[in-house]
Amino acid sequence: MRVYVGLVHYPVYNKNREMIASSVTTLDVHDIARLSRTYDVKTYYIITPLEEQQRLIMDILNHWTNGYGAKYNPDRKEALSLVRITSSLEDAIDEIEEREGKRPIIISTDANRMEEKTISYKETSDLIKKGEPIFLLLGTAWGLYKSVLDMSDYILEPIYGRSNYRHLSVRTAAAIIIDRLIGRYNYG
């Protein structure tokens, strides 16, 4: 299994459908790192071009992997050691390509169904099972900007719950998506 997860803070939409760089939410760092560790994700990339935000994430990582937090809660250290910070999506893709010897298949996620390039959970699972390197992109704020969807190989089907309400947090959406794609309950 060669699955990578990227949490994108730029470029994403704001409430008014403008392109922005969003702020990092501390619990996104922790929750998705713990999820990644649970499901054997190779690296969890946090992508932001803002240096101040990169420093904030570094402080969190240092506290939990080297500082007091590492002694207080070694489980958290184990999860947060999967986190990498990059300034751009391209840098993350290049790093994965270097590690895997080929460019990963880029699969974006969106709360709305796209006309083109939609891929089902089953098809994505099959790619993962075949051993393809996959880079799963999650958008913060009001979702991944159009340019990210355009450069992706596929866009994953939205999560349909039991209503027309589609406003999950990125943390809970990430959990549902990763469990559907690689949880033992669903396949294997």
Q: In what order do the strands lie in the sheet with 2-8?
A: 83-86, 43-47, 2-8, 133-139, 105-109, 154-156, 118-119
Q: Judged by CB under 8 A, does residue 125 bind a second copy?
A: no
**Stretch of 37-45, 60-68, 85-93, 98-106 lying at the interface with a second copy (CB under 8 A):** 37-45
The burial class, CB within 10 Å (0-12 / 13-18 / 19+), for 124 is buried
- The residue from 31, 53, 96, 105 that contacts a second copy (CB under 8 A) is 31
- The residue from 20, 56, 70, 168 that contacts a second copy (CB under 8 A) is 168
Q: Judged by CB under 8 A, does residue 30 bind a second copy?
A: yes
Q: Judged by CB under 8 A, does residue 171 bind a second copy?
A: yes
Q: Judged by CB under 8 A, does residue 165 bind a second copy?
A: yes
In the bound state with a second copy, the residue whose beta carbon lies nearer, of 57 and 79, is: 79
**Stretch of 16-24, 88-96, 133-141, 157-165 lying at the interface with a second copy (CB under 8 A):** 157-165
In the bound state with a second copy, the residue whose beta carbon lies nearer, of 4 and 89, is: 4
- Quote the CA–CA distance of 106 and 135 in Å, as a whole number: 5
